[in-house]
Amino acid sequence: MVLQKRLDYGFNGYQVPPIPRAARSVRRRCSLKRKTDDKQMCAFDLLATVAGKLLLEDKSSGKNQPSVVEDSVKKEEKNEDKPKEDQDCYERNFLFTELVSEIPDSNLCPNEVSRPASGITTSDGSEPEQLVNDDCKLRLGIFNPTLNLDSSNFESEDESRKQIKMDRKSSILVSSVDSVKFPFCKDHNTPCGSFPIKRDNVKLVNRDDDENYSEWVKPSTRNNKAFRPSPRFGDRKIRKLIASKHCRVAPSMKDDENYNADTERGDYLNRNIGLKRQRSLRDIPFKKRRLYDCSSMSNSDEGSDGICSVPENGTNGGVPSSYPARPGVSQTPISTAGEHTSFHARNHHVKLKIKSFRVPELFIEIPETATFGSLKRTVMEAVNAVLGGGLRVGVIFQGKKIRDDNKTLLQTGISHDNKVDTLGFTLEPNSVHAPRQSFPEDRAVQLLHDSPQPLARYPPAPFTRSAPDTQSDNPGSNFNNNFIESDHDSAASPSDISLHKSIPQSKALVTVPTTRPDALAVVPLRKSKRSESAQRRIRRPFTVAEVEALVQAVEKLGTGRWRDVKLRAFDSAKHRTYVDLKDKWKTLVHTARISPQQRRGEPVPQELLDRVLTAHAFWSQQQAKQQLKSHPETCLLL
């Protein structure tokens, strides 16, 4: 299933205050909205996790999936138009062209799993060998928009790192994640999907910029003889995707054209660069626009936002026929969509295939002394953050957005044996609930929250090799864990598929003519006011399974070792901090003490609550004993 998702995220060139508490989960900074649909959220979490895992693992994944890392440095010449803080910054651009990976479920036959995914990625099937792998595989390509290196040139991370250090005048790398694509499959019941992340600022670029682009490329090839400007496999793949027989449901508009054009050109970040270099008036609106895009998390391409999916007729065996209720079985995020679409079908199930989501523009800032391991991790976190929230699913049928969530598929004319190919899905900003037009202030503030940038610029952990390694230790289990969690979560919360507002709204935002002073005004605001205070994290009720795990861990470790509890039972649950666990325990104890009638939320089995009380009592006693031993006099006095 391919779903294409796009998303404008962050904007280049602005510095962000240092992250205050690295310990906080990325999530928190990323919660673009308080109310985010859990189901989607989890779905994206999962995807992100997978992507992250893959990113981390690629190093060890073998010869066939080289980590192509290309570095290049591009000096910003004269940025009069740029904000001050960027004046003397050099800029490096990395582009994750492609990250393809198959993730076989550990419980299932990898071979089985692998296939469909790749088949999906290359709709024409002409590039299967690139996608087929035995195990978890990853192809990670990082390439510079202007320079290209042969993969062979960078065999080792060290080498890459050297490369990076070549020009260290700048302390910051501005990277751009362009595309993360990872087909994934869980089992025969779950659809597979790819998840490319694509920039989509194409719409902002004019034809004229193309010229700039080409003339731009040359000068920057300075420290690399091996660089060759060329479309790489990633681009090819993308092009294929686009050109594939699968239709794009959304009405093809300007953006689409541009997009295709860019794709053809094989590199579209260049446009951006060309733009920058030119530093013309055009740049201002561009930036400003990005800001607004960020704020609303919207893409607003004249209504054809998001990209659609291109369901094929239910030929591909990857679609579940009965998956709404399968607690034990993991559901892919995609299933969210599928579930909705097949929701009302009685005996017949509409089979959908979502091909990909597209997520454009993910800007990342990372010290140039960082290792690629940390780069990958950072990217993972950024991706995780982006996917973690702020998005919702929209449905397009025959070019029109389905707004009525209560309509059945059948009523709309979708039955199990037809029309599916005109059904599309979009990922949309999950923000924008109140009209902002009248509250420019609000909008500005919104930027602070909605802008992913702080996230994307999440500082990488120490540049050690060990860190990424530890994370990639047990990808399988982690993956599964996340899967299960997201499953639980998704089961617990209804999904909201409303498209209202988002499109028109974003449109409006974009259309609003923006002036330069205006644009500049926005920036300081984000920096001064609440740039550091992240939005409150989204509420994610503990599932029974989680409670179970927590109880078990606490029984074993006690109530004062939340760090260990976290490590032991929630290591893979990124969104559960030890503080969360501690808090949960607190509420659990409370819950256990009150009468069942007073309890709210998903009922926790009495058995668990009993254990909570028991464990709590036990460990409290232990604690008391300890204190008595260590401070006998104090106790005696009391």
Partner DNA sequence: ATTAGGG
Partner DNA sequence: CCCTAAT
- Residues near DNA (CB under 7 A) are 21-23, 28, 31, 533, 536-540, 559-564, 575, 578-580, 582-583, 586-587
Q: How many CB atoms lie within 10 A of CB 616?
A: 21
Please report how close the Cβ of residue 629 comes to DNA at its closest, in angstroms.
15
* Side chain identity at residue 319, one-letter code: V
Alpha helices in 244-282 (DSSP H): 254-265, 269-278
Nearer to DNA, 396 or 557 (CB): 557
HSE, CB side, 13 Å, CA atoms: give it for residue 461.
17
* Side chain identity at residue 583, one-letter code: D
42: tokens are 């989890």
Please report how close the Cβ of residue 75 comes to DNA at its closest, in angstroms.
34
Please report how close the Cβ of residue 581 comes to DNA at its closest, in angstroms.
9
Nearer to DNA, 325 or 638 (CB): 638
Q: How many residues does the chain have?
A: 638
CA-CA distance, 12 to 201, in Å (whole number)? 12
457: tokens are 């610029």
Nearer to DNA, 411 or 470 (CB): 470
Residues 6+ away with beta carbon under 8 Å from 210: 265, 271, 274
Please report how close the Cβ of residue 378 comes to DNA at its closest, in angstroms.
15
CA-CA distance, 464 to 440, in Å (whole number)? 44
Nearer to DNA, 31 or 263 (CB): 31
Please report how close the Cβ of residue 592 comes to DNA at its closest, in angstroms.
16
Nearer to DNA, 405 or 532 (CB): 532
Please report how close the Cβ of residue 14 comes to DNA at its closest, in angstroms.
23
* Side chain identity at residue 98, one-letter code: E
CB neighbour class for 343 (10 Å; exposed up to 12, middle 13-18, buried from 19)? middle
Please report how close the Cβ of residue 538 comes to DNA at its closest, in angstroms.
6
Distances in Å between the alpha carbon of 130 and those of 28, 98, 137, 488, 529?
37, 12, 10, 34, 48
Q: How many CB atoms lie within 10 A of CB 436?
A: 21
Nearer to DNA, 350 or 609 (CB): 609
Nearer to DNA, 298 or 559 (CB): 559
Q: Which residue has the tokens 């910054």?
A: 89
Distances in Å between the alpha carbon of 524 and those of 112, 294, 451?
53, 16, 14
Please report how close the Cβ of residue 41 comes to DNA at its closest, in angstroms.
10
Please answer whether residues 456 and 362 qualify as being in contact, where contact means their C-beta atoms are separated by less than 8 angstroms.
yes
Nearer to DNA, 198 or 575 (CB): 575
